Amino acid sequence: MRSAISLTSTTTTATTTTTTTTTSTTTTTTTTTTTTTTTTTTATTTTTT
């Protein structure tokens, strides 16, 4: 009389990968406004009598 013994071995491997993303945003805004206004008024009056 023979007995058959079956052994089943199951190995489960769980792998967890964590990805961390770091985003750095630097915004530099430079606004330069130069306004130059020059007004020259010359009045010449000549009266001859």
Residue 5's alpha-carbon distances to 9, 11, 18, in angstroms, are: 13, 20, 42
The pTM of the full predicted model, rounded to 2 decimals, is: 0.21
Q: For residues 40 and 38, give the distance between their C-alpha atoms in angstroms, rounded to a whole number.
A: 7
pLDDT at residue 1, rounded to an integer? 61
**How many percent of the chain have pLDDT more than 70?**
94
